[in-house]
Amino acid sequence: MNRTKTFMLLAALTALFVGVGYMVGGPAGMAVAFVLAAGMNLFSYWNADKIVLAMYRAQPVDEGDSDPLIANFVADVYALADGAGLPRPRVHIVDSDQPNAFATGRDPAHAAVCANTGLLRMLTRAEIRGVMAHELAHVKNRDTLTMTITATIAGAISALANVAMFAGMFGGRREEDDRGGLIGTLAVAMLAPFAAALVQMGVSRSREYEADRVGAELCGDPQALASALRKIEGYARGTLNVGAEQHPATAHMFIINPLSGGRITDSLFSTHPSTENRVEALMRMSGRPWVEPAGRPYTAVPATQAVRRGPWG
């Protein structure tokens, strides 16, 4: 089923890309855009994970890391993957104060999970296990291919739309042009990235709930994941994620919206479901009322502190 959804999504994004190409250069522009889209789809299938990891300057880590915090983190990811019957993913960290995480890769055999250093500093070990179980759930559900390719193609659509905007304003298109002239070009240039964003948002919202459910089952602690979601949202609103701000088309890949000031609701225009709704669903799974977790408080750790000074010691 996921393969069918992925095909439909790529077809829709490709059509948008080709449509913008038509507005930029007419039939010739459409043909060029189609060739580029086909090549981009193929390239993204094999390399989208590498592209995203490179965007965030993610660094690979393993169980032999000299920092015991990172070594334990990797060991926990491997244990969760083993318990889920998944191949052990590549594990990366991103140097960012904002606590957050994402997964990428075309299939479970080629998956990578990535956590920001802020996640390791600010959350307890149980909460971090919950977050990584959520990311492994995306791998298990084969969401990562769709989410990663969507990020790369949506970003390309936005870039091409900017070209269309420039061409429409300064290209001297004739009013009698049957392709719509200046107004048509500007309309498509503005609507194409908007439509691509709506696709991203719909994909992300529908799959986050399922990843929460499966992740809670994998880690065996729905409340730990619920607590992590609440903490991450609180910190993310006040902590800049430079990589995400530079590449907003990747926002839907994270467990919580990484864009600063992003209001998280279940509206049409949100990249993620409401955190409160996600927490409520997780607490129904646990069958217990919410209890404020013990361990590290909700106050942020100063960015100058080293990663090894996190809650695991």
For residues 166 and 171, what is the distance between their CA atoms, to the nearest angstrom? Answer: 7
Q: Can you spell out the DSSP letters for 74-131?
A: HHHHHHHHHHHT-PPPEEEEE--SS--EEEE-SSGGG-EEEEEHHHHHHS-HHHHHHH
At residue 199, does pLDDT exceed 50? yes
Give per-residue pLDDT as tens, 220-278.
999 999 999 999 998 888 889 999 998 887 888 899 989 875 555 555 456 688 899 99
What is this structure's pTM?
Answer: 0.75
- Half-sphere exposure (Cβ direction) of 127: Cα atoms closer than 13 Å: 28
CB 294 within 8 A of CB 284: no
| Angle of the 181-219 helix axis to the 125-140 helix axis, nearest 10 | 120
Q: What is the mean pLDDT of residues 145-151?
A: 72
pLDDT value of position 61:
97
At residue 77, does pLDDT exceed 90? yes
pLDDT value of position 175:
47
Phi and psi at 30, nearest 5°, equal: -65, -40
- How many structural domains comprise the chain? 1
Phi and psi at 150, nearest 5°, equal: -60, -40
- DSSP E strand stretches across the chain: 59-61, 90-94, 101-104, 112-116
Q: Which residues are tagged catalytic?
A: 135
Band (151; pLDDT cuts 50, 70, 90)? low
pLDDT value of position 302:
37
Band (168; pLDDT cuts 50, 70, 90)? low
Residue from 17, 278, 29 nearest 152 by CA: 17
Long-range own/partner contacts, residues 26-33 (CB < 8 A, 24 or more apart): 26/179, 33/160
Q: Give the range of the structural domain holding residue 105, as residue numbers without chain letter.
A: 2-309
Token pair 């000031």 is found at 261
For residues 219 and 276, what is the distance between their CA atoms, to the nearest angstrom? Answer: 20
Give per-residue pLDDT as tens, 91-131.
999 999 999 999 999 899 999 999 999 999 999 999 999 99
- Give the residue with greater pLDDT, 289 vs 285: 285
For residues 227 and 144, what is the distance between their CA atoms, to the nearest angstrom? Answer: 24
Band (303; pLDDT cuts 50, 70, 90)? very low
